[in-house]
Amino acid sequence: MNSEEPQQHSAFDLIGGDAKLRELVDRFYDLMELEPEFAGIRALHPASLDGSRDKFYWFLSGWTGGPSLYIERFGHPRLRARHLPYAIASSERDQWLRCMALAMQDVGVPESLQERLMTSFYQTADWMRNKEG
């Protein structure tokens, strides 16, 4: 009889690992760039999204339980402090969440994991608000 406990899988593993996480990040930024409904959050980013794509991928890698790529490069993410220069109200929060929800659906993140991640994303995105509205 095997007495080992069942292996706990991280969100990183459940998403599908490195390549699938990168696909998710790329889809997120593709939607942000292509869809008019995300113009508000697109305007908060530089003209080229290449750096944003990399930083978000590195951050999500560690945040989901994969390699701590962001921390290895930059140290603690200090998310709120890094986002304070940008006016983030409920509209930007909601655009960000909608964009991420669509990206997860488009790349086939399992529905139960989408729900779990969206709960965490909402808490973080709501905490990032620094402007009324």
Residue 7 reports pLDDT greater than 70:
no
List all residues 6 or more positions away from 46 whose beta carbon is below 8 Å from its beta carbon.
Answer: 52
Average pLDDT, the chain: 94
What's the predicted TM-score (pTM) here?
0.91
Residues 109 and 102: beta-carbon distance below 8 Å: no
The domain locations on the chain are 12-128
Cα separation, 133 vs 131, whole angstroms: 6
Strands (DSSP E) contained in 1-133 are: none
CATH class of 12-128: mainly alpha
Residue 3 reports pLDDT greater than 90:
no
Q: What is the pLDDT of residues 63-114, one digit of tens each?
A: 999 999 999 999 999 999 999 999 999 999 999 999 999 999 999 999 999 9
33 closest CA partner among 55, 23, 48, 21 = 48
Q: What is the pLDDT of residues 15-40, one digit of tens each?
A: 999 999 999 999 999 999 999 999 99
Cα separation, 65 vs 14, whole angstroms: 10
The pLDDT value given to residue 1: 42
Angle between helix axes 17-34 and 50-63 (nearest 10 degrees) is 140
